[in-house]
Structure 1
Amino acid sequence: MPAVPAVRTVLGDVSPADLGLCDAHDHLFLSSPRLPRQELRDASAATAELAAFRAAGGGSVVQWTPYGLGRRAADLPLLARSTGVHVVAATGLHQAAHYAPELLGELRGRLAGLFVSELTEGLGTSGVRAGFIKVAGGFHAVDAHARWTMTAAAEAHHRTGAPIAVHLELGTGALDVLDLLCGELGVAPHRVILGHLNRSPDLVVHREAADAGAYLAFDGPSRANHATDWCMPDAVRALADAGFGDRLLLGGDTTTAGARSVNGGPGMPYLLRRVKPRLELALGKDLMGRILTENPGRAFSADWP
């Protein structure tokens, strides 16, 4: 019998239809030298944040924290069970600046195998399997590190079927990423999720990426270095009007402790509390419902081996 597409959560594979309202890009745990003293390490705070998201109507969260950045994989099933929210974990590798050079050297020659192992066997010794691969581009470019990680991600994708999610630095480089992943490395465009497009509101690039067949993620409220919230409804509506409503994803991308709702920031509930009603005015409630439920179910599902 052919495999049935499923979303691989930290509690096991589930039907895409079971995700409920999905935050398609966020973080429960994250530690990086680029975010000193703002680490997401507190399991109690993560539980409270996830419970607040659940209380706002949320059903699932996709955590884009990759290898080596404090995923706390063993804690994720406990959070999912205690809050009733599906959690999808990531394998993958972020930009080089997030890691010690020694660690990157140790991973040379075995990165694709690591990704495959974390997708099929588990993250470290936790037994929690990743549900997708997260990699990152450079600013308006695919640098050498990005080419290395994306090549490994493509190999792991071809071996497992896992979707590939891409951090676009300040929303840039989308077409270069697609040229590499889909043009050179043979990944089907609908298996690629492009993140942070809200940070670079270039409607021409958005349209070209959608034409190629990729999923387009608008994830996270504006920060000081990319104050683009006011552009997002127009960008999303332009894509929907062009027939690409089925390619849109939304997320919160909470990356620091101060940004959590339990600490006074927007946090995970902001997606449903503020973004959802605002975009309903631009897109209508029916399409917004599909963007938050059906689209993530397709984007993050795979015919797992």
Structure 2
Amino acid sequence: MTPPGRAAAGSATVRTVLGDIPPADLGVCDAHDHLFLRSPRLPGQELDSPASAAGELAAFHAAGGRSVVQWTPHGMGRRAERLPGLARAAGVHVVAATGLHQAVHYPPKTLDRLRTHGLAELFVRELTEGVGTSGVRAGLIKVAGGYHGLDAHARWTMTAAAEAHHATGAPIAVHLELGTAPLDVLDLLCADSAVPPHKVILGHLNRHPDLTVHRQAAEAGAYLAFDGPSRAHHATDWRMPDAVSALVDAGFGDRLLLGGDTTTAEARSVDGGPGMPHLLRRVSPLLRIAVGEEPVRQILTVSPGRAFGAEWPC
């Protein structure tokens, strides 16, 4: 990988684990995936092997991929110290995340500690100074909603994310449980907390293919991520090309992102699953049939830089 490029003072850059780069340098981007992930909800399926992560990045690069945004947040086995070496070896830009997932992914003692010590402060520190002692700075804030609504935990984490955004300019990426409640998220982050809509990335909209809600979220100005096509047995994925096509036809092709969201070891290509390469080998060709070459190019190579770029504080 060539060293990170230098962006002009005051311009937006994407914060990768090897430094800040111009948005155009991302190249073909998997806008939501995981190299490392650990949760009590996925016993025995942890993504914690550096060798497997290296193999997956190499396979993604061979398929034409040049950047991966890892949405693994605080306390879920990010292994931030490993990410720079993996990025260099594979020739793939990697963006790390701060943030917090749903409460079910954490021991109660962990959440109690975070309430005591300040969540927004943690996010800001990991965005500007680094994750733990790794020196690796996060490039986005990942939080999560609930099923068809926002519980107290979601409101706490999203309010903290909004505070951290106002301090740093960082984009906020949101796990929508089964793709639901995107408008509630926008109400909280944008209407109540004054986060600009174009700094919000709504994830998993493929899991709830309500075309009217998709259009409302796009009209509000948010980025819409269709991230999880490796789950080929989900009926909602069969409708994903139609959902993307409807948004492109309505003039919102520049608000869309694609990601693989590989969350279990068995889903990795190096372990026999579809993995990260599936996004480029199978999903992208289907979308080209549905919407044409240019919209897919925009989704994979232009929109990620705009969505994840920020004017970071000195």
The interval holding the TM-score normalised by the smaller chain is: over 0.9
Contact 1:222 1:228 in 2 (8 A): no
- Residue 163 of structure 1 deviates from its aligned partner by 0.2
1:196 is the counterpart of 2:204:
yes
Query: Alignment partner of 1:37: what SS?
Result: coil
Worse-matched range after superposition: 101-110 or 119-128: 101-110
Taking the aligned partners of 2:231 and 2:152, their CA distance within structure 1 comes to 28
- Residue 221 of structure 1 deviates from its aligned partner by 1.8
Which amino acid is 2:212 matched to?
Answer: V
Contact 1:25 1:251 in 2 (8 A): yes
Query: Alignment partner of 1:302: what SS?
Result: coil
1:63 is the counterpart of 2:67:
no
1:90 is the counterpart of 2:97:
yes
- Residue 228 of structure 1 deviates from its aligned partner by 1.1
Counterpart of 2:150? 142
1:26 is the counterpart of 2:27:
no
Query: Alignment partner of 1:58: what SS?
Result: coil
Taking the aligned partners of 1:239 and 1:23, their CA distance within structure 2 comes to 19
Q: Taking structure 1 as reference, are residues 14 and 224 closer, same or farther at Cα in structure 2, changes over 3 Å only?
A: closer
Counterpart of 2:23? 16
Which of 89, 108, 116 aligns to 2:115? It is: 108
Which of 151, 154, 159 aligns to 1:151? It is: 159
Contact 1:198 1:219 in 2 (8 A): yes
Counterpart of 1:297? 305
Taking the aligned partners of 2:305 and 2:112, their CA distance within structure 1 comes to 35
- Residue 225 of structure 1 deviates from its aligned partner by 8.3
Q: Taking structure 1 as reference, are residues 222 and 264 closer, same or farther at Cα in structure 2, changes over 3 Å only?
A: closer
Deviant stretches of 4+, over 2 Å: 222-227
Query: Alignment partner of 2:235: what SS?
Result: coil
Q: Which residues of structure 1 form unaligned runs of 5+? A: none
1:263 is the counterpart of 2:271:
yes
Give the TM-score, by structure 2 length. 0.96
- Residue 224 of structure 1 deviates from its aligned partner by 8.3
Give the TM-score, by structure 1 length. 0.98
Counterpart of 2:5? none
Query: Alignment partner of 1:293: what SS?
Result: helix
- Residue 2 of structure 1 deviates from its aligned partner by 5.4
Counterpart of 1:37? 44
Counterpart of 2:11? 4
Q: Taking structure 1 as reference, are residues 53 and 104 closer, same or farther at Cα in structure 2, changes over 3 Å only?
A: same
Query: Alignment partner of 2:198: what SS?
Result: helix
Contact 1:197 1:217 in 2 (8 A): yes
Identity across matched positions, percent: 75
Contact 2:230 2:262 in 1 (8 A): no
Paired residue total: 305
Taking the aligned partners of 1:238 and 1:297, their CA distance within structure 2 comes to 23
- Residue 222 of structure 1 deviates from its aligned partner by 5.9
Contact 2:33 2:70 in 1 (8 A): yes
Which amino acid is 1:99 matched to?
Answer: Y
Contact 1:170 1:226 in 2 (8 A): no
Contact 1:199 1:222 in 2 (8 A): no
Taking the aligned partners of 2:305 and 2:41, their CA distance within structure 1 comes to 31
Q: Taking structure 1 as reference, are residues 222 and 13 closer, same or farther at Cα in structure 2, changes over 3 Å only?
A: closer
Taking the aligned partners of 1:296 and 1:286, their CA distance within structure 2 comes to 15
Which of 48, 53, 60 aligns to 1:53? It is: 60
Query: Alignment partner of 2:251: what SS?
Result: coil
Counterpart of 1:125? 133
- Residue 223 of structure 1 deviates from its aligned partner by 3.7
